[in-house]
Each structure stands twice: as C-alpha cells, then as structure tokens.
Amino acid sequence: MAVLLMLRSQPGLRFLLAGLLLLLGRGSALSPQDDNSPFGSLWPLPQKLNIEAELYRLSPATFQIAHSPQSSASVGCSILDNAFRRYFYYIFGSSTERDQLLAAGGSGGGGNIAELSQLQVIITASDPECNQHPSVTTVETYEIDVTQPVAILKSENVWGALRGLETFSQLVYEDQYDTLLINKTQILDSPRFAHRGILLDTSRHYLPLKVILETLEAMSFNKFNVFHWHIVDDPSFPYQSASFPELSAQGAYHPVTHIYTLADVKMVIEYARERGIRVIPEFDTPGHTQSWKGIKNLLTPCYNGEKLSGTFGPINPSLNTTYEFLNQLFKEISMVFPDAYVHLGGDEVNFACWQSNPAITEFMQKQGFGSDYRKLESFYIQNLLDIVTSHMKGYMVWQEVFDNGVQIKPDTIVEVWMEKNMKAELSKVTLAGYTTILAAPWYLDYISYGQDWQKYHQVEPLHFNGTAAQKKLVIGGEACLWGEYVDATNLASRLWPRASAVGERLWSTEATTDTSDAYKRLTKHRCRMVRRGIPAEPLFVGHCDYEYRG
C-alpha cells in the first residue's frame, strides 16, 4: 500500500518505473503476472535498436506528425499525408477515445516528465517517390531517433517512412493511469528480405473487397510488402475482364455480386500502394482453369475411349486461337496491374485429359513430342512466357515450371512451394541462377492444435546447401492462405497472428530466434491488431488489457 501511495503522490517516479519495465505495448498494464520483453511490443523486431529508460509523454492535444523542413517531401505528398493521419489515429484513437484520454489526465498530467511534441519525417532522396508504386528494388530502410522535444524519422523515400511510422506507433504505450509514454529510443532498421508476401485465394471462396482491404491494412502492421492475389482458379473466375466479360459472366459464382470490377481492382492497388504494398496477380494456367469456360474452345475436351466424356481438362495448347486469346488477356492484365511482375502459375497440370484427346495426340506427333506430355506443357508455357514478355512484364512461376525444364528468362522468379525436398529444390533453382522465393513451410491453410506460429517463426530460408551467391538469390517468401476452408468469416483469425511470425522471419535478423521473447512481443502485438480492428486469434490463454472497458 505504501508503494502504491508513493507512486500516486510522485507521478514522475511511476513514469520512471513504467519506463524501466519497458511496457511498450499500448494496452499494457503493470501487473505481477506481466512477463515483458525488453523490446516491448515491437513486431517485427528492428535490426538495430537502443531503448533507454528516459521517458517522454504524448498528448493528443499537442502532438503532431509532420514533414520536416529538411525533407524533400512536403504537404501534397498524399501517401505521407494520409499515413500521418492514419498513424495519429492509431496512436491516440478516435476523437471520442482522445476526449476520454484527455479527461483521464492523458493530456500531459505527468508531473515533471518531459513532453514529446512532434515526430518530424525527413525524406532524403531528391525524388521522394510520392506518386510511384513500390517495386522489388524498393528501399525500405529508415532511422528513428526519439528524443525530446522532437523525434526524427529519416528515410530515403516514402516507403521506408511508412515502415518507420509503424515502428514509431509501436513504441508508444499507455501506463495504468492512461498516460501515453514513449522511451528515448534509437533505431536503424531495414528488411532482411525484399519480398515479404501474403497470398490470398479469391477463387475457392469469394472475398469481399472490405476483407481484402482489411488484410492489406494488417499486412502493413506486420511490414509485409507483397499481396500475391491468386485471383482465379478452378472453382470461380471473379476477375471481370474488360476484354472478355464472358469469363466472369460464366465463371464467377455470381456475375454481379461475386466479381471484382476494374474499379475494385484499382481500389485494391491504390490502397496497397499507400501502405507500401505491391499487388502481384496470379492467373494460373494451363491447369487450374475449369472456371475459364466462358471462352469457346479454350479448354481441352476430355474423352472416355473414343467418345467425348462431357468434361474438360487444362487449356488446349494445340490451337492458335488459344494464344490469340492469351495475348489479348495478358495485354489487359499488364495494363491493369502496374507491378513489373505477374504470376503465371504453371503448377499441378493433370495430363490425363490431354492423353485422352486424339487431336492432342496428333499434335504431339507433329511436334515430335512423342508421348512426353511435359514437352507439351513446356510448349504451352514457353508460348505464354513469350506473350507476357512482349507486354513488358516479368513473371513469377511455381517450381514445376523450372522442374519440367521450361526455358525461362534469367530474371524469372521461381516460387518453391513443395515442402518435401524443399532444401534440395532451393539448391537446384539457385544453382541455375534464378531468383527464388520460398512458400513451402508457410502454408497457413494447414491448421493444427496449439501454437503453430512457432514453427513458422523458426524457419530459416537460407538453411540449404549453396554458396553465398546462391543464397543471395533467395529474395524472400510468402505466407499462403488457400481458400478451400476460408472465407470472410474466418480469414483474419486464421491469418493473424500466424502470418506475423512469417513477417518477422522475413524482416528481422537471422539471430531473431528466441521463441520465448517472440511470444511476449507477439501477444502484445496481437492485442494491438485487435484494438486496430483486426480480429486476430489469441496465441494462448490470457487477455488484452483494454478488453471490455466501459
């Protein structure tokens, strides 16, 4: 009781105690049960950081996030202006929450504690890239120096600034008296891997636009920078093509309610851009195309003996009309999606229908393929790659395209997805000189009881036999959430915070392997995501400190 009275009567002392305990997750509280990381609730963990005991308070009435006079960006750089507003809200809450905070004494009633009045953002490059899209070569490095009275966030461009704003917001925390605090801190940070992706499947279950935008928001909280949009597949074709509207008219679950219009796609791309996220669409062929039935003679008719079976197989690679169609479709795709890459799939092609079709067999003989249907698949994919290249796009493919010996461009990105022999595959692909991303250990649609986030966190992408030059070709990875059992009702809870573990593995240093420390930080980070509107599932028993407050 005496200690409690002393803390109440000497507010400066309680602030110091809070700082020493480093309760850096907003919503944390002093509690005998608390077991806090020395890094608070930072997620993913920055590359280099120094957190000191000295404390500053923040007030919603006086604090500002602003462009520095030294910055090459200024008011009118909408990507930063919007981010400033967004992160002010994440730090202080809605206007109602801010009023409650001020009424509770969070306006600066901190005794002799100094106040932090501003976060100034400095962009150092002559071109801040305000009106550009992020790319595979985007620099995301940033520095933070939190000191009184003005904190500094410095970055070469807007993309690093976005990452720094997220980190700054994670440094702010609330003590048990509802005062917002931040410790004196220095951070120098950059991602370990350039490609940090989330794959969503919008074919097996249609995902409403709101859910996709919510996912992009959550991705920014975890410093992901690629949305791999597996937009179409066998079950449905929700992409409404301007050139071929019959594809969604006949292939979507519903031609009006379960489609993505070009306006929808544009909104996703812009929403992602404002959060430093690339959008890479995947139009997987020649397999996984049962929903492409809107195009006449595109799919291969299957035979049962000498008679048509009434079913269809992969895209028919023997017809000139196939490639005329693909040329028009990918011309449109290249114009709609601004990223330099498109994902072409190329996985899991079932040869049985091709084998049953006499016209395909005759074409095989004319081409000299014999009975090797991998050569037929390669013939198709090679033509598709030439088409995509003609529209000035690079491409990503699943590993089967490489495994089957298709001639691919030197800048092709090969995605390794088969967990069996994963390390041997990484060795082979990189030895051949191809840029690689890893998805194999991070298929989040596989559910197991318990804290499976730990096994995702413990993966080391570069643990395979290869030279330093080979390992440099691994530019990152993706957490994949396939949609057989996922729709709008359970996507967020399956994805977060399990994907957060992948995010830290791809951002932080190789030495960030302490699962116990990660649990402490991730528990608080999960609560922060919930507070920001993302219904992330709990890691284990416990509670978020702000739950059920009146």
Q: What is the DSSP letter of 536?
A: P
Q: Distance between alpha carbon 174 and the CA centroid of its chain, in Å?
A: 28
Q: Distance between alpha carbon 258 and the CA centroid of its chain, in Å?
A: 23
Identify whether the C-beta of residue 486 lies closer than 8 Å to the C-beta of residue 494.
yes
Identify whether the C-beta of residue 62 lies closer than 8 Å to the C-beta of residue 200.
no
Place of tokens 């699943």: 398
Rounded-to-integer distance, Cα 142 and Cα 159, Å: 9
Residue 163 in tokens: 């990452």
Rounded-to-integer distance, Cα 355 and Cα 373, Å: 8
Residues β-bridged to residue 121: 67, 153
Rounded-to-integer distance, Cα 387 and Cα 19, Å: 59
Q: Which of 52, 348, 362, 510 is catalytic?
A: 348
Active site residue 270: no
Identify whether the C-beta of residue 412 lies closer than 8 Å to the C-beta of residue 435.
yes
Determine the 3-state secondary structure of 397 from DSSP.
strand
Residue 369 in tokens: 């393929």
Burial of 21 (0-12, 13-18, 19+ CB in 10 A): middle
The type of residue at 196 is R
Residue 101 in tokens: 């905070």
Residues β-bridged to residue 142: 155, 189
Q: Could you give the count of Cα atoms lying within 13 Å of 195 in the half-sphere of its Cβ? A: 24
Length of the chain: 550
Contacts of 311 (CB under 8 A, 6+ apart): 302, 353
Q: At what angle do helices 320-336 and 262-273 cross, to 10 degrees?
A: 50
Place of tokens 């604090």: 63
Active site residues: 348
